[in-house]
Amino acid sequence: MLDWFRRRREERRAASALLFRQRYASFRRLLGRNGELLALLAELELDLRHETAAEPRVRDRIRRILDAALDLVQDLSELTGGEVEAFFAAHHRIEAEVLAALAREEHPPASPVIDLDAPEARDRELAGGKAANLARVRALLPGRVPPGFVATTAAYRSLAEAAGLAGRVRSLVAAARGSEAAIADRGGELRQLIARTPLPRALADAL
């Protein structure tokens, strides 16, 4: 009888030790995924400063964030013995909303140059704040604002893509975070970088 109790005690200890190791491994994975997720979110924040969610690279990063978040919830579920069902439901709801928003962003490529009289010229994300305001004033006061056109954000993206500027712009912006002096210096570098870049033929023809 004493041997039976000893075996049972050893079995319970072994099961407890195994559970502890499994949960510790889940905790380590959770910490790693949390760091990965924070890094992806920081990169996405930089992307969205000069790109839109319609860009394939940005969309891919958003999907990676959704996948990393789901993996994190799974690790948390293992760590808590499955007591996070509400988190899975929340992730499912958020994922559906994000994917629906991405679907709405899918549209034909915008023209690199548009007339101020075009309705899309009033779109701040496409024409920029100054041109969009000018287009609105021209629509409200016909004849009081001279005709014109605007090089759109699509023109910038075509230039950045043709010259491979995206990575260099991101690195300059990332290096400037948290310092006004660095931001001013990097702003000058960005202007020189763009000014030295030849216009793609299609963009030059459109202008």
Residue 123, C-beta contacts closer than 8 angstroms, at least 6 positions apart? 132
Rounded distance, CA 199 to CA 207, Å? 10
Burial track 95-124 (b if 16+ CB lie within 10 A, e otherwise) = eeeeeeeeeeeeeeebebebebeeebbbbe
Residue 5 has pLDDT above 60, yes or no: no
Write phi, then psi, for 179 (nearest 5 degrees).
-140, 120
Of 29-33, 72-76, 78-82, the range with the lowest mean pLDDT is 78-82
Question: Do 145 and 138 touch, CB atoms closer than 8 A?
Answer: yes
Q: How far is CA 192 from CA 146, 164, 174, 188, in A?
A: 30, 15, 18, 6
User: What's the whole-number mean pLDDT along residues 80-89?
Assistant: 82
Where is pLDDT greater, at 102 or 185?
A: 102
pLDDT for the residue 112: 87
User: What's the whole-number mean pLDDT along residues 11-35?
Assistant: 77
Question: Do 53 and 105 touch, CB atoms closer than 8 A?
Answer: yes
Rounded distance, CA 147 to CA 139, Å? 11
What's the distance, CA 166 to chain centroid? Answer: 14
User: What's the whole-number mean pLDDT along residues 59-72?
Assistant: 88
User: What's the whole-number mean pLDDT along residues 95-116?
Assistant: 80
pLDDT band at 1 (very low <50, low <70, confident <90, very high): low
User: What's the whole-number mean pLDDT along residues 119-124?
Assistant: 89
Q: How far is CA 40 from CA 9, 56, 64, 131, 148, in A?
A: 46, 15, 8, 33, 40
pLDDT for the residue 134: 92
Average pLDDT, the chain: 80
User: What's the whole-number mean pLDDT along residues 124-138?
Assistant: 90
Residue 80 has pLDDT above 70, yes or no: yes
pLDDT for the residue 117: 92
pTM for the predicted model, two decimal places: 0.53
% of residues, the chain, pLDDT over 90? 10
Of 25-39, 63-77, 174-188, the range with the lowest mean pLDDT is 174-188
